[in-house]
Chains A and B, each alone.
Chain A
Amino acid sequence: MAQVFYFFIFPGLLFASVAGGFLSWFDRKLTARLQFRVGPPMLQPFYDFVKLLAKETIVSSEAAKSLFLMAPVFAVTGACLSCVLIFIPVFGIGNGFQGDLIVIFYLMMVPTISYIIGALASGNPLSNLGASREIKLLIGYEFSMLLVLAAIILKAGNTVSIHDIILLQQQEGAFIGSLSGVLLFIPLMMCVQAKLAFVPFDLADAETEIAGGIFLEFSGLTLALAKLAKYIMMLVLPSFVIVVLLGGFRLDGIHILWSLLKLIGLVLLITLVRNTNPRLTVGQSLRFFFIWMNLIAVVAILLAYAGL
């Protein structure tokens, strides 16, 4: 029963969607302010969600219906599971269900894969194009992310347990305090940007270009669920960065404030990057990750071997 509570209420579905919704609002508000607009009210993400629930759901006549309808459900499931597995060690819940870094890495892939499969199942040529871009982007950033992950495992002394990684950082200082940690932060943040499909890596749903791409055929409930998964990932990915590089969260006294600040700071960074860059093409993004980000990550790994 406790497992079900963790998954659906805290730190799973309910908590993650509320927190993710607020982070998403923060991102939108900040974007608006940067563009000299007023921006949405604080509850706008939730209004969006509720309104979409009430809307008609349209399914394309070319679609493989069951797969198309289930894809957003899988996206939310994957996002929630990764959220639970990240936060349970953070909150020190002893008997919750647990997973290690590799499991979380794979679960964080699930929302993206679900979007891709949902888009392909919709039978829309533009969605196909979006899916093709998304999966190529996935190949690009996944390799950089793996290098970063390997470097973190190396720095943590060949352990993949989230709990041990947080503990080690709290005892000996966050990984970002070292030179290799600083270097790792750059590719990891770029991967987060790409995973969230924000500019400059929004080529899969480029609205001005291919009219929403992978999300083009989603509507009503399916779109609501897809958006929900995006909200949750808005919480999950920055939290993941904090856990593996920035010393994790601590929930006693003043540390609560610090933890919150870390989270908001990272979202701020993501928002700033997305508002100051143009969209890249597939080739450019692949080159960006395969050459530059991998180079940085490899240098960081070598430094980590040297103990820096």
Chain B
Amino acid sequence: MSTQNVLHMVIILPVLAGMVLFLIPRQYFYTKGILACLAALINLVFSVLLFGRSSEMINICVGKELIPATSALQAVIAQAESFMMMNSDGLGRLIVLFVGLFTFVICVYSLGYLFSRTRPKHYFSWFMITAGFSNGAVMADHVLLFIFFWGILGLTLYKLVRGHNSLSASAAKKTFILIGASDGIMILGVALIWHLGYPLSMSSMSITTGNALPVAAFICLVIGAFTKAGAFPFHSWVPDYASYAPASSSAFMPASLDKLLGIYFIARLFNQMFILNEWITLVMLIVGVSTIIIGVMMALVQHNYKRLLGYHAVSQVGYMVTGFALGTPLGIAGGLFHMLNNAIYKSGLFLVAGRVERHTGRNMIEDLGGLSKVMPVTFFAAVVFSLAIAGIPPLNGFASKWLIYQGIIEFGKGEGVANQLWIVWLVLAMFGSALTLASFVKFLSGIFLGHLKDVYLTIKDNRFLLCAPQILLAALCIVFGVFAAEWVIPKIIVSVSGEFSYTGVWESATVSLMVALSIILGLLIYVLFVGKKVRIDKPFMLGEQADHRAGFPVAEFYKTISETPFLRFMYKAAEKKYFDIYEVARGAVLGVSKGLSWLHQGILPVYMIWIIAGLLIMLLIVM
């Protein structure tokens, strides 16, 4: 099979499958799901095939042979061909591979997860169409073709959440408006590039950001990427979407595919389409680290665990933006690796959240607790994902954050303003990771540890369709962490980011081996020394009768921090949504329309006064 055909398959096959699924009636939900899983599996196979191919530019025009060579249509097609170029380079193929993987894994999970109350209409159709169009967006070389694929994804994102009550409906609307607005701004950016006379194919753009117009074009395009990926200040749809969409949709779009796409476009923008000047680098680094800190600070005080995950989906983007903004091969490698790792553990976390919600019907951390006793598999997966996102060695989150830190330190050797401030980037990025740990202590222990309520005793954690995706993703977290330095970075990442040399040392496999040995040894000691000597007893409450209500609720852990003077002010402002660009813009629009409606009060004398005043002004101008 030629690369062109494989490329056709990864784009057309999922979209076609989605179209066919529209035709199957709703009652046959499982038939639809199984067909979608099959299509996703075939798509994954083709993605793997594509990943093995070499880089080339591919023309995806088909059916040219059907038209006679003398026809006038040939000239039209020849012109259209420049729009139909696909760039199958290392970055694109890597992303297509992971899009394929996540599509399949989450499709399997959805089959077991979705239930009728919150199930979006035509879920699997939109799901598969999303996969196909994502592949298209990643492969497209011409900016207009890219925007076409990218725009449809905003619609499918909207379609994957069902407005089953007013809150979820408004979250869906907010998502649609923010994504739609950012797409509009992107088209403006493309128009600016066209106006400046640069070619519109990404691979040959290379715009210098010397004066205002290229910078404006860059900002327009980067707003689109930031909104998709969920970077501050365009992040506010992510937590809302995460709170109200089905967990499988959150795992699919904001947690994995939107990250892959948004960061993919950032990678193209920062390193291929534009040549950043040092001030833009500085601004991008500020956006990166403030996204990290703001996202995680908001996550720290959440009581709704899906919302908590949503804010982390924002926070982690900061690391990737920081990595790519550095512009060095080390930083790019870090950003890229973190993008993959984040997609793995974040979608895994949403799968965990989905299961907890499915079994308990509760959204708040304080209503839960002790679920580790009835959901051991989910608990194990949750521990792995939480430690990975908190960057605990030797899991994958650590490996990629470590690369980014190395990148920042190396970047600090440069001369520019942004370079000289490397300590700020380093300290804030690393501190963000400590705060991430803190909020995942809350997530883990609030849901899985502590007292188990009697109503949850009947929960069973044995559905293969739900367990298998979690275990697969957890295993990927471990594998990507353990073999990071020896295998993943040199084999997968370097081919995309370019060669670089480390400044530090991280022998992931050796350290992991020692950890594994210690675990085995620990188990042995327990078996040998303790054996049957373990006694189960009530928790010691200073000699009093232990009452499970006499707890110290995990959800309140960080109240001390949120009530310190400066932070209290900031949290108050965040509660009033002063940092939510959607709410701010909504306020502005409503304010203007209020003013206009005040003018239009329908009283004739007032209109007359306006007309006369207008006449006078015109006369004045004319004179």
- A68: nearest residue on chain B (CB-CB)? B449
CB contacts (< 8 Å) of A113 on chain B: these are 392, 437
The yes or no answer to B430 lying at the interface (CB within 8 A) is yes
CA gap between A139 and B439 in the complex, in Å: 11
Q: In chain B between 354 and 390, which residues have their CB closer than 8 angstroms to a CB of chain A? A: 370, 372-373, 379, 383
Given A73-B518, A146-B427, A150-B426, A135 and B511 contact (CB-CB distance below 8 Å): no
CB contacts (< 8 Å) of B427 on chain A: these are 143, 146-147, 150
Within 8 Å by CB of B409, from A74, A77, A158, A225, lies A158
Contacting pair A103 B402 (CB below 8 A): yes
Contacting pair A73 B519 (CB below 8 A): yes
Q: In chain B between 411 and 442, which residues have their CB closer than 8 angstroms to a CB of chain A? A: 412-413, 422-423, 426-427, 430-431, 434-435, 437-438, 441
Q: Which of B449, B526, B534 has most chain A Cβ within 10 Å? A: B449
Contacting pair B529 A301 (CB below 8 A): no
Contacting pair B504 A161 (CB below 8 A): yes
The yes or no answer to B517 lying at the interface (CB within 8 A) is yes
The yes or no answer to A261 lying at the interface (CB within 8 A) is no
Pick from A29-37, A116-124, A174-182, A238-246 the stretch touching chain B.
Answer: A116-124
- B522: nearest residue on chain A (CB-CB)? A73
Chain A residues within 8 Å of chain B by Cβ, number: 76
CB contacts (< 8 Å) of A142 on chain B: these are 431, 434
The yes or no answer to B572 lying at the interface (CB within 8 A) is no
The yes or no answer to B579 lying at the interface (CB within 8 A) is no
Contacting pair B448 A64 (CB below 8 A): yes
CA gap between A73 and B475 in the complex, in Å: 21
Given A120-B445, A211-B542, A158 and B410 contact (CB-CB distance below 8 Å): yes
- In the complex, what's the smallest C-beta–C-beta distance from A126 to chain B, in angstroms? 7
* Residue-wise interface mask of B (532-555) relative to A, using a CB-CB cutoff of 8 A (1 in contact, 0 not): 011111111110001010111010
The yes or no answer to B503 lying at the interface (CB within 8 A) is yes
Given A77-B514, A106-B392, A125 and B550 contact (CB-CB distance below 8 Å): yes
Q: Is the interface of B mostly helix, strand, loop or mixed?
A: helix
Within 8 Å by CB of B511, from A69, A99, A105, A109, lies A99
The yes or no answer to A100 lying at the interface (CB within 8 A) is yes
The yes or no answer to B608 lying at the interface (CB within 8 A) is no
CB contacts (< 8 Å) of B405 on chain A: these are 102
CB contacts (< 8 Å) of B514 on chain A: these are 3-4, 7, 77, 80-81
CB contacts (< 8 Å) of A158 on chain B: these are 409-410, 412-413, 422, 503
* Residue-wise interface mask of B (389-405) relative to A, using a CB-CB cutoff of 8 A (1 in contact, 0 not): 00111000010001001
Q: How large is the interface on B (under 10, 10 to 19, 20 to 34, 35 or more residues)?
A: 35 or more
Within 8 Å by CB of A58, from B449, B537, B561, lies B537
CA gap between A103 and B514 in the complex, in Å: 15
- In the complex, what's the smallest C-beta–C-beta distance from A166 to chain B, in angstroms? 14
Within 8 Å by CB of B560, from A59, A122, A127, A136, lies A136
- In the complex, what's the smallest C-beta–C-beta distance from A307 to chain B, in angstroms? 14
Contacting pair A100 B504 (CB below 8 A): yes
Within 8 Å by CB of A59, from B373, B422, B536, B564, lies B536
Contacting pair B515 A286 (CB below 8 A): no
CB contacts (< 8 Å) of B249 on chain A: these are none
* Residue-wise interface mask of A (115-158) relative to B, using a CB-CB cutoff of 8 A (1 in contact, 0 not): 01100111111111101100110110011001100110110001
Within 8 Å by CB of B398, from A98, A106, A161, lies A106
16 intermolecular pairs with C-beta atoms under 8 Å apart: A53-B529, A58-B537, A59-B536, A60-B539, A61-B536, A97-B510, A113-B437, A124-B539, A128-B554, A139-B435, A146-B431, A150-B423, A153-B426, A158-B410, A211-B540, A282-B560
| New contact pairs (5) apart from A69-B526, A120-B445, A143-B434, CB-CB < 8 Å | A59-B537, A62-B451, A62-B548, A123-B539, A221-B526
Chain B positions near chain A (C-beta within 8 angstroms): 370, 372-373, 379, 383, 391-393, 398, 402, 405-406, 409-410, 412-413, 422-423, 426-427, 430-431, 434-435, 437-438, 441, 444-445, 448-452, 503-507, 510-511, 513-515, 517-519, 521-522, 525-526, 529-530, 533-542, 546, 548, 550-552, 554, 557-558, 560-561, 564
Chain A positions near chain B (C-beta within 8 angstroms): 3-4, 7-8, 53, 56-64, 67, 69-70, 73-74, 76-77, 80-81, 97-103, 105-107, 109-110, 113, 116-117, 120-129, 131-132, 135-136, 138-139, 142-143, 146-147, 150-151, 153-154, 158-161, 211, 216-217, 220-221, 225, 282-283, 286, 301
